[in-house]
């Protein structure tokens, strides 16, 4: 069973075999609260393991809440969510989150960044991020090329979480993923390896060693969450009606390879588990 713990009532559960922290960089939307009970439940449903006795805690990083230095050692992994904010911004909470990423990197703790989280990790570790050079929003389902599938022998550092998937023939050369972003990684940190790219975004996924992974898309998003976001972007004037209609038409015939992306994220977060039972 997965134990889901809010920040205000955080407590280690007896018998928990693994512990993860979700660092939320976005406030829950009305839709996600009503449909799923909040983004915490969305992430745990996507990346958690009901049979592993896991515990997932949430810290609202966007509100300045982060784990204390003494708490970091107790976690097996950290996930940084997407956000409507720019990862290259200088808001105090963003700068604090960058500092935490550098600390986790020094500790060799597993850190998975999604969209904003992907970009923030890049910035924190010395890479460059900014507005998408192709211009405008990238919203919908996009196919990306998995570089690691073709260049396994050329990897700079061994990569167990990908090797396990490759050995089981679960690492395709191309895969579709849900995208909602207008910023991107311009240049990965020194020593990082680009693992995936698309015709619109040069860095769709990258890793640093075996403990840091950034993914530009949203493995955790369901179709209804994406459609809700499209409605919100349209209402806010961020996209046009014709753009929204095009996304909706695409979703009628195209779906992301969500099972693959969830398997990849779980393989990364739980790579220290030699049994790899989630695969």
Output the CA–CA distances (angstroms, integers) from residue 155 to 89, 194, 212, 262, in the order listed: 32, 10, 15, 22
Provide the annotated active-site residues: 115, 218, 220
Handedness of CA 133, 184, 228, 174 (dihedral sign): positive
What is the rounded distance in angstroms from the CA atom of residue 151 to the CA atom of residue 203? 16
The C-alpha atoms of residue 184 and residue 247 are separated, in whole angstroms, by 20
The pair of structure tokens assigned to 36 is 């799923």
Strand 138-146 to 193-197 pairing: antiparallel
* Distances 94 to 41, 91, 104, 127, 210 between C-alpha atoms, Å: 23, 5, 15, 15, 24
Return d(Cα 45, Cα 35) in angstroms, integer. 13
User: d(Cα 205, Cα 112) in Å, to the nearest integer?
Assistant: 11
Name which of 164, 264, 171, 161 is nearest 220 in CA terms: 264
Question: Other CB atoms closer than 10 Å to residue 98's CB: what's the count?
Answer: 17
């Amino acid at each position: 069973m997965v134990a889901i713990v809010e920040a205000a009532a955080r407590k280690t559960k007896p018998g928990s075999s693994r512990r993860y922290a979700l660092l939320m960089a976005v406030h829950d939307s009305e839709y996600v609260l009503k449909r799923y009970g909040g983004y915490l439940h969305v992430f745990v449903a996507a990346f958690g393991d009901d049979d592993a006795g896991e515990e997932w805690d949430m810290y609202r990083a966007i509100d300045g809440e982060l784990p204390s230095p003494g708490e970091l050692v107790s976690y097996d992994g950290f996930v940084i969510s997407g956000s409507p904010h720019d990862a290259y911004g200088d808001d105090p909470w963003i700068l604090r989150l960058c500092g935490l990423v550098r600390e986790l990197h020094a500790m060799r703790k597993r850190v998975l960044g999604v969209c904003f989280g992907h970009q923030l990790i890049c910035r924190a570790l010395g890479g460059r991020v900014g507005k998408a050079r192709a211009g405008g929003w990238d919203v919908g389902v996009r196919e990306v090329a998995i570089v690691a599938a073709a260049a396994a022998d050329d990897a700079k550092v061994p990569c167990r979480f990908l090797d396990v998937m490759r050995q089981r023939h679960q690492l395709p050369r191309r895969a579709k993923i849900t995208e909602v972003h207008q910023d991107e990684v311009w240049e990965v940190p020194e020593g990082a390896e680009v693992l995936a790219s698309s015709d619109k975004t040069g860095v769709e996924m990258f890793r640093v060693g075996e403990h840091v992974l950034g993914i530009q898309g949203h493995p955790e998003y369901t179709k209804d969450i994406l459609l809700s976001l499209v409605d919100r972007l349209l209402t806010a004037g961020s996209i046009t009606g014709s753009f929204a209609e095009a996304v909706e038409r695409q979703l009628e015939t195209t779906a992301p390879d969500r099972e693959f992306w969830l398997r990849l994220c779980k393989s990364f977060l739980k790579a220290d588990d030699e049994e790899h039972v989630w695969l």
